[in-house]
Amino acid sequence: EAEVAQSPRYKITEKSQAVAFWCDPISGHATLYWYRQILGQGPELLVQFQDESVVDDSQLPKDRFSAERLKGVDSTLKIQPAELGDSAMYLCASSPTGGNEKLFFGSGTQLSVL
Amino acid sequence: KNEVEQSPQNLTAQEGEFITINCSYSVGISALHWLQQHPGGGIVSLFMLSSGKKKHGRLIATINIQEKHSSLHITASHPRDSAVYICAVKKKTSYDKVIFGPGTSLSVIP
């Protein structure tokens, strides 16, 4: 079965360093989501793409976070500089276009900022 | 107030018990998802529904659109059902925005 691929699985970095996460959605899925999940809480949407366009980045801390999906396929989420409070699980999900479709999640990247 | 709420926050059950997890939301939606998250992060979609009821094995999900409420039921619970169960809704927007509830942590004891 097709899967959403994410890498790396774990990332440890020091504060003020730059980090990047990669996501490859299921082939043909136009909608791609990046979520941040703090332990014990539900995922929070950071950014949503429809093909290569950002349709929602209202919760993305744009002073330090950036996201791109240049060809409407895979996507990169970057943090520069990382802060202690960025330690969390970063999840990528994808969905076909059409409204009422299932969500498919990657395994996530667990980020620890020291 | 959060747009999606769940109850209970934590739940401990004995193996074999019937379990109900509730989700309520305050926005217009086009669909509602029930998701399962095991320790380590992986999230799996259990159900997506926009009306009525769906059943898969020992899991049953219902939704009442008028009351803005959904329930997830687990019959004959088993320790392997121990996980976090998350309700998420697709808001009626021009794009498919999905927002999540806080999750319900379930522990089933043998």
pLDDT at residue B2, as a whole number: 85
**For residue A111, which of A26, A46, A18, A28 has the smallest C-alpha distance?**
A18
pLDDT at residue A100, as a whole number: 61
pLDDT at residue A22, as a whole number: 97
Residue of A nearest to B35 (CA): A103
Residues of A in contact with B4 (CB under 8 A): 42
Report CB contact under 8 Å: B48, A99: no
Residues of B with CB under 8 A from a CB of A: 4, 30-31, 33, 35, 40-45, 48, 50, 86, 88, 90, 94-103
Chain B closest CA to A38's CA: distance in Å? 10
pLDDT at residue B51, as a whole number: 93
Closest partner residue to A110 (CB to CB) among B41, B48, B95 is: B41
Q: Is the pLDDT of residue B96 over 90?
A: no
Q: Mean pLDDT over residues B83-106, rounded?
A: 89
Chain B closest CA to A64's CA: distance in Å? 23
**For residue B3, which of A62, A44, A95, A35 has the smallest C-alpha distance?**
A44
Q: pLDDT tens digits for A43-81? A: 899 999 999 999 999 999 999 999 999 888 999 999 999
Phi-psi region of A51 (alpha: psi -120 to 50; beta: other; left: phi over 0): left
Write out B16-85 in H/E/C secondary structure: CCCEEEEEEECCCEEEEEEEEECCCCCEEEEEEECCEEEEECCEEEEEECCCCEEEEEECCCCHHHCEEE
Q: pLDDT tens digits for A8-31? A: 999 999 999 999 999 999 999 999
Q: Is the pLDDT of residue B41 over 70?
A: no
Q: Is the pLDDT of residue A97 over 90?
A: no
Give the rounded percent of residues in chain B with a pLDDT score beyond 90.
84
- To the nearest whole number, what is the mean pLDDT of chain A? 92
Q: For B58, phi and psi rounded to 5 degrees?
A: -90, 5
Q: pLDDT tens digits for B45-87? A: 999 999 999 999 999 999 999 999 999 999 999 999 999 999 9
Q: Which of A13-27, A75-89, B26-40, B89-103 has the least mean pLDDT?
A: B89-103
Residue of A nearest to B85 (CA): A42
Closest partner residue to A102 (CB to CB) among B41, B45, B95 is: B45
pLDDT at residue A70, as a whole number: 85
pLDDT at residue A110, as a whole number: 95
Which of A100, A110, A112 would best serve as a mutation to test chain B binding (most B beta carbons within 10 A)? A100
pLDDT at residue A7, as a whole number: 96
Q: Is the pLDDT of residue A99 over 60?
A: no
Write out chain A in H/E/C secondary structure: CCCCEEECCEEEECCCCCEEEEEECCCCCCEEEEEEECCCCCCEEEEEEECCEEEECCCCCCCCEEEECCCCCCEEEEECCCCHHHCEEEEEEEECCCCCCCCEECCCEEEEEC
Residues of A with CB under 8 A from a CB of B: 31, 33, 35, 37, 41-45, 48, 50, 55-56, 89, 91, 93, 95, 97, 99-105, 107-108, 110
Q: Mean pLDDT over residues B23-48, rounded?
A: 91
